[in-house]
Amino acid sequence: MKRFEDHAALITAAGSGIGAATAHRLAEEGARVLVTDIDEAAAGKVAASIREQGGTAREFACDVGDRAAVEAAVAYAVETFGRLDVLVNNACACHPDAPLFEDEDDEVWATDLDITLTGAYRCARAALPHLVASGRGAIVNIGSVNGIQDFGNHAYSAAKAGLASLTRTLAGHAGPRGVRVNLIAPGTVRTAAWAGRDEQLDTMRELYPLGRVGEPADIAAAVAFLASSDAAWVTGAVLPVDGGTTAISSGFKIMRD
């Protein structure tokens, strides 16, 4: 039996990259998946690809910065699939730092925190009653090694560290209600954000003990584990999926540059 038979999942920012790979992975294992993204056309392509491969998926436009949009996405998932068992908070915003910290912009700071941290909060708040009702609910937050060590990006890193803290506090609150909450902290992953920067990725590859940067499928596999009954006694955990980069202390400046 597939691990997610008779499960329904909602994934944010699933129109590409880690989110798309996760949608495919959960669907391959039997889940009915709501592919959400601020770009509805991108979400639609992923959902269509899943259906072409024999899976069950729908798309829905969702801006996690908008509470009404989040609540509408959750309601649509429950209405369409009859339940909600898994929430994957993947949406984030990451703007480059100003050369000097004192020149950082308030709007950039606010945007990165609102989408990356508060967006996950909005989604968890809307989904939690349904996850409780499922009797096997799981939330998997996509964090970052930036929330663990210094790799630059002040606002994004602060947001990801905050997401790890929210993971722990929500795990304590939701555990007695039957819902597990965990976080994956990826290292560098080859997504569209790195398009045209193959040379930089090659340089960064040398800094990972496992000798390569990550692929979206690496993160999707970890999501599938934490969302499944295989992780039935795991909650409040931060799981680095980073090729070993947080286990070493050299080369960080090169990674930041």
pLDDT in tens, 23-49: 999 999 999 999 999 999 999 999 999
Q: 119: which 2 tokens? A: 């967006």
Catalytic residue, from 76, 121, 156, 208: name it: 156
The answer for residues whose C-beta is within 8 angstroms of residue 87's C-beta and 6 or more apart is 9, 10, 123, 124, 127, 131, 137, 138, 139, 140
| CATH code, 227 | 3.40.50.720
Indicate if 121 belongs to the active site. no
How far is Cα 37 from Cα 248, in angstroms, rounded to an integer? Answer: 35
pLDDT tens readout for residues 172-194: 999 999 999 999 999 999 888 88
- Tell whether 2 is covered by a domain: no
Please give the full DSSP string across 200-220, using - where no structure is assigned: HHHHHHTTSTTSS-B-HHHHH
User: Has residue 196 been placed in a domain?
Assistant: yes
Q: Give the whole-number percent of the chain exceeding pLDDT 90.
A: 88
Task: Name every residue whose Cβ is closer than 8 Å to that of residue 55 and which is 6 or more positions away in sequence.
Answer: 24, 27, 28, 33
Residue pair 46/69 in contact by the 8 Å Cβ criterion: no
Summarize the confidence of residues 162-177 as an average pLDDT. 98
Q: How far apart are CA 191 and CA 95, in angstroms?
A: 16
Q: How many folded domains does the chain comprise?
A: 1
As given in the structure block, the two tokens for residue 187 are: 């290292």
pTM for this model (two decimals) = 0.95
Domain that holds residue 99: 8-256
Residue 173 lies in a domain: yes
Using CA atoms, how far apart are residues 155 and 107, in angstroms rounded to an integer?
10
What is the rounded distance in angstroms from the CA atom of residue 76 to the CA atom of residue 84? 10
